[in-house]
Amino acid sequence: MRLDEARAELPGLVAEVLELFDDDPGHDLSHALRVATWTVRVAEEELPKRLVLAAALLHDSVNVPKNSPDRARASELSAALARELLPRHGFPPGEVALVCDAIRDHSHSRGSLPESALGRALKDADRLEALGALGLCRTLSTGARMGARYFDAADPWAERRPLDDLAFSVDHFFTKLMGLPARMLTPRGREEACRRVELLRSFLQALAREIDVAVPPARRAVMEGRDPEAPPE
C-alpha cells in the first residue's frame, strides 16, 4: 500500500502515527504499509481497507527494543495506544475492539493466537517481514541496534554454546526465522513464507562457505524445516 493511498483513507491517523515512529528502519512507516499490503493479500476473507490500515499502522506503535525485558508486552502496549487513538478518527467501539485485539495478538513474542480473520492475516503479514530479503535486512539492522555481532567467530553455529540471538544475529535464524513457515496461520501466508525462507537458507549456506565452517547436522535440519532431534534419514 502506498502512502498516498493511506493518507486518502485515514489522513488524520496517518499524520498522528508519523509522529510515533523513531529511526528504526525495521519498524518504520514503510514496514507498516508493507504489512497492510500483505494483510490484504493473505486474508482468508475480504477485509475492510480502513481496518487493515489502522491495524497495520498501529501494530508497532509502541516499539519496545528486542533486548528489553518488556519486549513481550510490546503488542499489548501498542493495542492500548490504538484503543486511545482510534475513537478520535471515527472508529466505533466494535471496530476499535477488533483492531486492538488483532494488534495485541499479532506479536510473536507474546505467543497468542488471533481469533479474527484480521488478526490472523495481520500476524502472518508481520511474520513475512521477518523472511526473505527484507527479513535479512531487518535481522542484521536489529542486531546492530542491539550491539550484536553477526555471528560468534569461535562457534558460528552454536555447537558448543546455547543459542543467543541477542548477542549474535545469525543465531536468530535458528531461534525463530527458520521455523516461521510452519507457524503461519493462513494458506497464502504459508505459501509466501516458504518462498521467502529459501533466501535465508541460501544466505546461511553462502555464509558457511565464506567462513569455511560447515553447518552441523542439527542446524542443517532446522534450516530444512526438519526436527533436529530426529535420526538422520
Q: How far apart are the first and last CA of the chain?
A: 44
Could you tell me the pTM of the whole model? 0.90
Q: Which of 21-35, 104-118, 139-153 has the highest mean pLDDT?
A: 139-153
Average pLDDT, the chain: 90
Say what the pLDDT of residue 229 is.
64
What is the C-alpha to C-alpha distance for residues 181 and 184, in angstroms, rounded to an integer?
6
Which one, of 63, 59, 58, 62, lies nearest residue 16 by Cα? 58
Does the pLDDT of residue 162 top 90, yes or no? yes
Domain with CATH 1.10.3210.50 in the chain: 132-223
What is the C-alpha to C-alpha distance for residues 230 and 227, in angstroms, rounded to an integer?
5
Please state which CATH class domain 132-223 belongs to.
mainly alpha
Inter-CA distances, 220 with 15, 50, 119, 136, 151, Å:
46, 42, 32, 18, 16
Q: What phi and psi values does residue 26 have, to the nearest 5 degrees? A: -85, -10
Does the domain formed by 3-114 have CATH 1.10.472? Answer: yes
Say what the pLDDT of residue 91 is.
95
Domain with CATH 1.10.472 in the chain: 3-114
Inter-CA distances, 161 with 66, 168, 171, 205, 229, Å:
21, 12, 11, 21, 17
133: part of which helix (H) or strand (E)? helix 132-146
Does the pLDDT of residue 233 top 70, yes or no? no
Does the pLDDT of residue 109 top 70, yes or no? no
Q: pLDDT by residue (tens digit) across 222-231? A: 998 877 665 5
Q: pLDDT by residue (tens digit) across 36-58? A: 999 999 999 889 999 999 999 99
